[in-house]
Amino acid sequence: MRRRYQRPYKKEYQQQLARGEHANRMERQKARRALDAKGVDRSGKDVSHNKMLSKGGTNADGYKLEAPSKNRSRNGEKPRTRTT
């Protein structure tokens, strides 16, 4: 499929920087690489941050391996605690 226009890559990149997406992507990448350096098998798993990067979290807040369905279905909500 051919595009009828040229994608404005420079403009898209500037928008990512302005929204803070670039910094968040680098944090995700650092977390993945740290787990790889430790020799952790992360095949089929997502790296889930304890505090969402979009809500101001960093790798210093902590991260863990989690099933993709569990990580993505949470939508930024904290897990519910059972009260009995």
pLDDT value at position 20?
A: 83
The residue among 75, 52, 76 whose CA lies nearest residue 63 is: 52
- pLDDT tens digits, one per residue of 3-43: 788 999 999 999 999 988 889 999 999 999 999 999 999 99
pLDDT value at position 1?
A: 66
Share the mean pLDDT of the chain.
Answer: 90
Report whether pLDDT(63) > 70.
yes
Share of the chain above pLDDT 90, in %: 68
User: Quick check: helix, strand or coil at residue 44?
Assistant: coil
Helix extents (H) in 1-84: 9-19, 21-38, 68-73
